[in-house]
Amino acid sequence: MIEGFTALYIFMLAAFTGYEVIARVPVILHTPLMSGSNFVHGIVLVGAMVALGHAQTGLEQTIGFIAVVFAAGNAVGGYVVTERMLEMFKSSQGGTK
């Protein structure tokens, strides 16, 4: 397992990389990028379920359950926002020609 400073180093490196990538994306693409990345966060849901599966005490199970609920909400929210954005790009079918 990754522990201590190694985990902190990886977290800081990921945060720096994410900041640099997002900073170079044009402003008009921020919302599609963020909605797409929200549903990619489904991996967080998998991690939360794994953590919940390994929980042994009541406190660990409670924290794991809360993590699963938040991760599921984030993934579902990503799908909802993406769907709404895709609706914005569809042409209206019932308009006058």
- Picking from 46, 51, 70, the residue whose alpha carbon sits closest to that of residue 61 is 51
Query: pLDDT tens digit string along 25-76?
Result: 887 777 777 776 776 678 888 888 998 999 999 999 999 999 999 989 888 8
Greatest CA span in the chain, whole angstroms?
65
pTM to 2 decimals? Answer: 0.58
- Picking from 12, 42, 34, 29, the residue whose alpha carbon sits closest to that of residue 81 is 34
The b/e string for 60-88 (b: 16+ C-beta within 10 A; e otherwise) is eeeebeebbeebeeebeebeebbeeeeee
